[in-house]
């Protein structure tokens, strides 16, 4: 079986990449197209974000604090740096920052109801027993059974359950799906990515779905025991763009990766569709969700968000940072996809979602430089530099004058540019070629927190807006900070960030 897998993988990679190697993580074998030495020296590969030792990563799945450690599961292809053959990878951490890679948690069962992939889901504690609920995919017996049609695939999606009795390391699957098909009479555009929570003595499940020609929807179920489920009604529905598309996710007729949770005295629903994560906040009573505020979680390369409660009870948000380079390039690089930094969520009194980088990230701060407004600020800015594309900034500036912040190599090659013009409508900021609007409307100083890590830039604005970008440039020299006009700059803090491993491969 391994020989056949290796032959198929070689054929998929083609002649442009290096010959595959076999490597072992604890008890699990993986195929890897790129030698570890090359991955360890790849300057585009992040140093303090979570990502696997090699190959493809996408959606975060079932993050949970359990028995003194954080557990992160994620969609993973152990056969190469491309989407396909979905498994569940697994990493653990004492602090949400430093990670240890564990053996694979879930693999497709040959001939089983998840033979073509174990898709996204969640982990809950059922009377203390870790219970994993996920979507499995298999070929449909008839065209009518297919619930996933995206122009390339036609699959039957079923909801599955597995339990662990050894601290979330190994999982035993049930023999049959817990939900084998959508509700009778509903023709849906998708049926996946369960989000499960306890409500009184019962359980609830939200499933990503939608209706052709109408829009995305979240289907709500209830159960007394996580095994027997009864469909109730749509928890929420939306409108698509009306534009035809082979993949209903692309035109908003399918909502993926629902996440539903209480926050303060309200509830929040997250959905992923049309390449974005959207949020809605409102009241939830009697099983009915009534949203009255909404927005984007992140305006850039950010998708499939999931949340968890940390050990202090704070709501933590995670997201997948996808690649924005051609597939041939990330196949050749030997890795693709990154987990976002953890974000602490809150709501203000009007229901606006706020998010801030988790304080745990501050443990990675190294050398610190602080600059305050004054006659010497221009000279001191010219002395700043970033080594190894790993840094955190905190920038504060006045909102009533234009502001420009740049990172450049010593040869003046551009790497990053953040621009603000108060004349623009909607309090817009520009990060390289992308724009995003600050949700805050006060005339207080604007606070930006950019995190630079290899090819990843996560930028937070006033703790109400965020944008994640990929920058595939690797300057040969340290980056320098350029602020052409310092009149509006109030302060700038720079921390050189420490890597979470010595070789960019392991936690």
The CATH number covering residue 141 comes to 2.115.10.20
Residue 14 is predicted with a pLDDT of 34
Are residues 213 and 281 part of one domain?
yes
Q: Per the domain annotation, does 29 fall within a domain?
A: no
Residue 139 is predicted with a pLDDT of 97
Nearest C-alpha neighbor of 431 from the set 409, 453, 408, 406: 406
Are residues 329 and 363 part of one domain?
no
Residue 506 is predicted with a pLDDT of 67
Domain with 135, as residue range(s), is 108-340
26, 59, 166, 250: the active-site residue:
59
Are residues 328 and 210 part of one domain?
yes
Are residues 174 and 295 part of one domain?
yes
Are residues 196 and 322 part of one domain?
yes
Note if 59 is an active site residue.
yes
Residue 507 is predicted with a pLDDT of 57
Nearest C-alpha neighbor of 179 from the set 125, 226, 236: 226
* 103-141 pLDDT, tens digit each: 999 999 999 999 999 999 999 999 999 999 999 999 999
Cβ atoms within 10 Å, residue 126: 16
Structurally, how many domains does the chain consist of? Answer: 2
Q: Are 465 and 435 in contact (CB under 8 A)?
A: no
Q: Using CB atoms within 10 A of its CB, is residue 313 exposed (0-12), middle (13-18) or buried (19+)?
A: exposed
Residue 503 is predicted with a pLDDT of 80
Are residues 279 and 248 part of one domain?
yes
Q: How confident is the model at residue 28 (pLDDT cuts 50, 70, 90)?
A: very low
* 369-391 pLDDT, tens digit each: 999 987 778 888 988 999 999 99
Are residues 367 and 327 part of one domain?
no
Are residues 280 and 251 part of one domain?
yes
Average pLDDT estimate for 262-287 = 97
Q: How confident is the model at residue 33 (pLDDT cuts 50, 70, 90)?
A: low
* 160-218 pLDDT, tens digit each: 999 999 999 999 999 999 999 999 999 999 999 999 999 999 999 999 999 999 999 99
Q: Per the domain annotation, does 332 fall within a domain?
A: yes
Residue 438 is predicted with a pLDDT of 87
Q: Which residue has the higher pLDDT, 463 or 30?
A: 463
Are residues 229 and 120 part of one domain?
yes
Q: Per the domain annotation, does 474 fall within a domain?
A: yes
Are residues 459 and 332 part of one domain?
no
pLDDT at 317 over 90: yes
Q: Are 381 and 297 in contact (CB under 8 A)?
A: no
């Amino acid at each position: 079986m391994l020989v056949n897998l290796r032959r198929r993988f070689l054929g998929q990679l083609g002649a442009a990449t290096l010959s595959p190697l076999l490597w072992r993580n604890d008890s699990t074998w993986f195929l890897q197209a790129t030698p570890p030495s090359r991955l360890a020296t790849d300057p585009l590969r992040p140093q303090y974000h979570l990502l696997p030792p090699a190959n493809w990563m996408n959606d975060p799945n079932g993050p949970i604090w359990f028995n003194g450690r954080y557990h992160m599961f994620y969609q993973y292809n152990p056969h190469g740096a491309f989407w396909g053959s979905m498994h569940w990878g697994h990493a653990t951490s004492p602090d949400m920052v430093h990670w240890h890679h564990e053996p694979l948690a879930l693999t497709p069962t040959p001939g089983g109801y998840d033979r073509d992939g174990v898709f996204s889901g969640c982990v809950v504690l059922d009377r203390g027993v870790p219970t994993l609920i996920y979507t499995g995919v298999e070929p449909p017996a008839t065209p009518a059974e297919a619930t996933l049609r995206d122009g390339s695939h036609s699959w039957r999606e079923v909801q599955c359950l597995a339990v662990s009795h050894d601290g979330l390391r190994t999982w035993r699957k049930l023999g049959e799906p817990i939900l084998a098909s959508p509700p009778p009479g509903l023709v849906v555009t998708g049926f996946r990515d369960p989000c499960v929570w306890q409500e009184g003595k019962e359980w609830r499940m939200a499933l990503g779905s939608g209706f052709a020609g109408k829009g995305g929807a979240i289907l709500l179920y209830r159960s007394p025991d996580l095994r027997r489920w009864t469909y109730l009604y749509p928890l929420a529905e939306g409108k698509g763009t009306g534009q035809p598309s082979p993949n209903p996710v692309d035109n908003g007729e399918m909502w993926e990766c629902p996440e539903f949770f209480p926050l303060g005295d309200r509830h929040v629903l997250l959905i992923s569709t049309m390449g974005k994560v959207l949020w809605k906040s409102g009241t939830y009573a009697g099983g009915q969700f009534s949203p009255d505020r909404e927005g984007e979680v992140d305006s850039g390369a950010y998708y499939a968000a999931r949340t968890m409660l940390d050990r202090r009870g704070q709501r933590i948000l995670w997201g997948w940072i996808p690649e924005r380079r051609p597939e041939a390039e990330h196949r050749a690089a030997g890795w693709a996809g990154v987990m976002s930094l953890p974000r602490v969520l809150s709501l203000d009194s009007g229901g606006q979602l706020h998010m801030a980088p988790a304080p745990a990230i501050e443990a990675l701060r190294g050398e610190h430089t602080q600059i305050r407004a004054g006659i010497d600020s221009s000279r001191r800015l010219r002395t700043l530099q970033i080594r190894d594309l790993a840094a955190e900034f905190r920038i504060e500036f006045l909102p009533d004058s234009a502001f420009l912040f740049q990172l450049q190599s010593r040869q003046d090659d551009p790497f990053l540019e953040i621009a603000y013009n108060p004349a623009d409508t909607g309090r817009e900021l520009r990060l390289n070629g992308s724009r995003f609007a600050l949700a805050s409307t006060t005339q207080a100083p604007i606070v930006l927190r950019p995190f630079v890590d290899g090819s990843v830039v996560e930028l937070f604005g006033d703790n109400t807006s965020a944008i994640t970008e990929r920058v595939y440039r690797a300057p040969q020299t340290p980056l320098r900070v350029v602020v052409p006009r310092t009149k509006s700059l109030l302060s700038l803090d720079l921390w050189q960030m420490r890597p979470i491993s010595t070789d960019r491969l392991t936690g």
